[in-house]
Amino acid sequence: MNPARAPRIAIVGAGLGGLTCARVLQQHGRSVTVFEREASADARPQGGSLDMHPDTGQAALDAAGLLERFRALARPEGDEWRVLDYATATVVAQHGPSADGGKPEIDRGQLRGLLLDSLADGTVEWDRAVNGVTPLTDGTCRLLFADGTADEFDLVVGADGAWSRVRPALSHAAPRYTGVTFVETGFDHSDSRHRDLARLVGNGSMLAKGVGRSLVAQRNSNGHIRAYIAFRATEDWHVAAGIDLGDQQAVRTHLLRLFDGWDQSLRSILRNSDNGFINRPLFVLPAPHIWEHVPGVTLLGDAAHLMPPVGLGANLAMLDGSDLAHALVTEPNIDKAVRAYENVMLPRSTEAATGSAHGLDHLVPATAP
């Protein structure tokens, strides 16, 4: 790297972790470019509600100077869980929200919008898909774009999720199927159109579980309730059942059979949803997922430590982004910064991955809960 110029830093992926990293870097006067394959910020829905933990997601937002703006958007009352008996729909356990609003909820789309709005104009280059990276002998890295062009950077940060195109520069690991699939659906204007379900869910989230299957529903903003039908099955369960995933009525009928014997108010989640069914098989990276340090490239978030969605992933991705940016502005050079970051992130992610695996087993138990 030429010491006369500022280092060139590229972040691949405009998710929560990559955007947090970019924001903290810009706060410290560092230049950064984020490359995102999606065509625009609103190219697709961003998913459900997230609880931001004080020592991870909120710590990252504090480092990014966005904690107060986050609190203005967040829903402290959403930090509530109800566990219902699957056969009677009676509440068997309930906790939260905490008196201090410790883990407030926020829609993923709102949080992403908050981060995007905090960045300098032009930071994110949309519709810039990346095919891969090539580490170079001088410690820099060549970024290869899907349109056939290339550019070189002093550091490429893979923040591009489960199927990262940056990861192969560091690791041969690939995501594997967990044996659990979520099928997502949703309810609009729930407080007026789906009042019984709104009462079951309350202000936060609801869980009912049997052997090898569970129902989870979570309140989002604007009266929307997002539901996940979770079950243990082969990844191609729909093929084995002879179901075309595009045939929504066939999917509904199959799911109703799968949850035969459950309370009718819970089965209404399958019967009465407003939105279609989206098949989401769950994948994870091996744990521990570690690699030998390679100059000029690193990973954060799901690209580094893909885990089951039990409340840690977004928080850890944002903490990764904040920690990496902090190292880049405090260490004497990029290589020392990346080494310092990886020395903290890799052990932390191994511990979190183990906990998340146990969390998935608790959420969708293979034996009687």
pLDDT grade for 100, boundaries at 50, 70 and 90: low
110 with 35, same domain: the answer is: yes
Helix (H, G, I), strand (E, B) or coil at 329: helix
Give the model confidence (pLDDT) of 8-46 as tens digits.
999 999 999 999 999 999 999 999 999 999 999 988 877
Q: What is the pLDDT of residue 44?
A: 82
Answer yes or no: is 84 within a domain. no
Both tokens assigned to 140: 């820099």
Question: Do residue 211 and residue 112 come from a single domain?
Answer: no
Tokens of 345: 């992130």
The domain in which residue 184 lies consists of 178-282
Q: What's the mean per-residue pLDDT of the chain?
A: 94
Number of domains in the chain: 2
Shared domain for 110 and 224, answered yes or no, is no
Q: Note whether 184 and 230 are same-domain residues.
A: yes
DSSP codes of every residue in 221-281: STT-EEEEEEEE--TTHHHHTT--TT-HHHHHHHHHHHTTTS-HHHHHHHHS-SSPPEEEE
Give pTM, 2 decimals.
0.94
91 domain-assigned = no
Q: Is residue 323 part of a domain?
A: yes
Residue 48 belongs to domain with CATH number: 3.50.50.60
Same domain assignment for residues 276 and 289: no
Residue 206: inside a domain, yes or no? yes
Is pLDDT above 70 for 87?
yes
Is the separation of the CB atoms in 21 and 303 below 8 Å?
Answer: no
For residue 94, is it within any domain?
A: no
Say whether both 26 and 166 belong to one domain. Answer: yes
Q: From 229, 264, 282, give the residue that closes a domain.
A: 282
Domain boundary among 261, 282, 303: 282
Can you tell me the mean pLDDT for 151-159?
A: 98
The CATH number linked to 213 is 3.30.9.30
